[in-house]
Structure 1
Amino acid sequence: MLHNITGIDHVLIGVEGLEDARSAYEKLGFTATPRGSHIGWGTANYCIMFGEDYIELLGIVDPSLETNGLDEALAERGEGLLGVALASDDPEATHQSLIEDGLEPSELLALKRKLELPEGDVLPEFKLIRLTSSAGLTAKNLFICHHLTPELVRQPDWLEHPNGAKYINSIVVVVEDPAVLASYYQRLCGSINVTLTDNTLTVRFGRGSLIFVNDRDIDLLFPGLTISDEMPALPHLIAMTIAVENLDQAAKFLTESGAAPQKIANGTLRVDPAKACGLLLEFTAG
């Protein structure tokens, strides 16, 4: 793929109560890592790791410290998807090629966070590149991430999930006009990975996809979905689909855990957003 972008790295879910969110996702059959925290900030996280990507549950643990806008996001939009990180296997090369292609990336940023392991805290390290609003999301909500210490954040026990989850299949973003974003993504990851229909723009990143849809056509992606509340200001990250090893086994686990998944005609399982921290969460066969 162009610019050394290899796939989806992770998604961020903003939550009101971090420990409650961990419990909710464990009830949905996900294995959470030990808690992490952002050095010098009042935010902390639990991660749900897969082989190549992961989910980050992000919450505020000390409101007296910097929250990087999480407090405002939760107040304005409530719990739910906050952003998407793409993966790069060579951040320096990615950064340089984005500049050369006129895609106006941020500077290459260094980041560390603390991970609280039983044997003692460790400091995973990352490099980040923020993208522009031309991508349909703000620079805070869409960025490229490279792990300098992957062995610290992907331990074998953390990759096994009772629901059989394997990877992030798709993330859906509601925007005013998906078509206007096509040229940006064609430049970012190549035309072969970009599909534009009358209703949606689908961008492939490795095994996962970023899907843009307008608010009038959401029901085409999510048949039977009823949105009772007013749609937040656009762009709005509304949904995520997780690929699982065996959909029947996932359905059995979710039913026995009390999640009461809804079987959709397109072959997916849907979980009530109230049980997934405001996120429309679906499972599909992977």
Structure 2
Amino acid sequence: MVRGLDHVVVAVKDLDAAGRAYSELGFTVTPENRHPWGTANRLIQFDGFFIELLSVADANLIAEPAGKQFSFGAFNRDFLACGEGASMLVLESKGASEDREAFLKSGLDVYEPFSFERTAHLRDGSTTSVAFDLTILNNPLSPQIGYFTCFNKYPENFWKPDFQTHSNGARAVQTVYMLAEDPSDHHEFLGAFTGQREMRATSLGLELETPRGKVFVLSPAGYRSLLGEAAANAVAGDLPILAALEIECEGLNTTRIVPANELFGLTIVLTPAKERT
């Protein structure tokens, strides 16, 4: 099974400031939600994909990792100690046990099962419950990036049309851009993670199509060539990193690129919507 893009986690130090910045770009941003392990988030929902803006709300609640027990809070706390930006790449799941079996069969390093439930705050002030099963992987080639699949137990409580309506016309994810010194180093892990064994190698990098968006692993030269000087000059930190996210927008006439140094460590590319057949 080939897994589509589900969301990216964007670790930020000031959740309210990040929410305002994305709102000013024309995105609808959800109210704040809290995790039991000390982090808080605000979401930007599209058609089956979302951006999770995440910050540390109460460091005292964060548990340290132990063996194969992954600590979501500690991972993002430690990421923020080095800078802001996209800390985790997340794919859709049809079932956590199936994902786990497939990953182990492919020889991937899998953490212990991770499930949780939290309260979701809706636009009208009411609340509901959402719950998820995460299957989390360790990739020694990019330990500073978190990878997991996310099985949504109550999708009817999570996805809301009023959260998916944006004044800038944003409707769907197109591409997650990963930046690496040698993109070919990552073909084996990403092929097993996505389930997409057919990928396209070009002079720019490595391209993987999924049922919802694509993953494009670019060299620094390829990234500069494709996204331009402003985006390339905004890259910070050791490679590999999740450098940019491309979102399709209805009614947009020309591509707009907001570089990472102006938007909490992640470059956002807004592109005109393609006609659907």
Q: CA RMSD in A?
A: 2.2
Q: What residue is the counterpart of 1:70 in the other structure? A: 76
Distance 1:121 1:110 in 2: 20
Q: What residue is the counterpart of 2:139 in the other structure? A: 133
1:205-248 CA-to-partner distances (Å, cap 9, x unmatched) read 21311111222432122123364467311221111111111213
The SS at the match of 1:85 is strand
1:182 to 162, 180, 187: 187
1:270 to 242, 249, 257: 257
Pair 229,184 (structure 1): closer, same or farther in 2 beyond 3 Å: closer
Distance 1:162 1:201 in 2: 33
Distance 1:236 1:94 in 2: 24
1:35 to 28, 32, 38: 32
Pair 162,226 (structure 1): closer, same or farther in 2 beyond 3 Å: closer
- Worse-superposed segment, 110-119 or 28-37: 110-119
Counterparts of 1:1-286 in structure 2 under 5 Å? 1-2=1-2, 5=3, 7-39=4-36, 41-66=37-62, 67-77=73-83, 79-117=84-122, 120-133=126-139, 136-138=141-143, 141-188=146-193, 189-192=195-198, 194-225=199-230, 227-228=232-233, 231-248=236-253, 268-286=255-273
Pair 269,228 (structure 1): closer, same or farther in 2 beyond 3 Å: closer
The size of the alignment, in residue pairs, is 261
- Worse-superposed segment, 208-217 or 17-26: 208-217
* Ranges of 4+ aligned residues in structure 1 off by more than 6 Å: none
Pair 23,95 (structure 1): closer, same or farther in 2 beyond 3 Å: same
Distance 1:12 1:26 in 2: 17
Alignment-mate amino acid for residue 22 of structure 1: G
1:130-186 CA-to-partner distances (Å, cap 9, x unmatched) read 12316x533861111110011121112111111111112111111221112223333
Distance 2:241 2:8 in 1: 14
Consecutive unaligned residues in structure 2, runs of 5 or more: 63-72
1:18-71 CA-to-partner distances (Å, cap 9, x unmatched) read 1111111111111112221101x2210001111211010101222333132333
Alignment-mate amino acid for residue 111 of structure 1: F
TM-score by length of 2: 0.85
TM-score by length of 1: 0.82
Kindly indicate whether the alpha-carbon contact (under 8 Å) linking 1:182 and 1:196 is maintained by their aligned counterparts in 2.
Answer: no
The SS at the match of 2:61 is coil
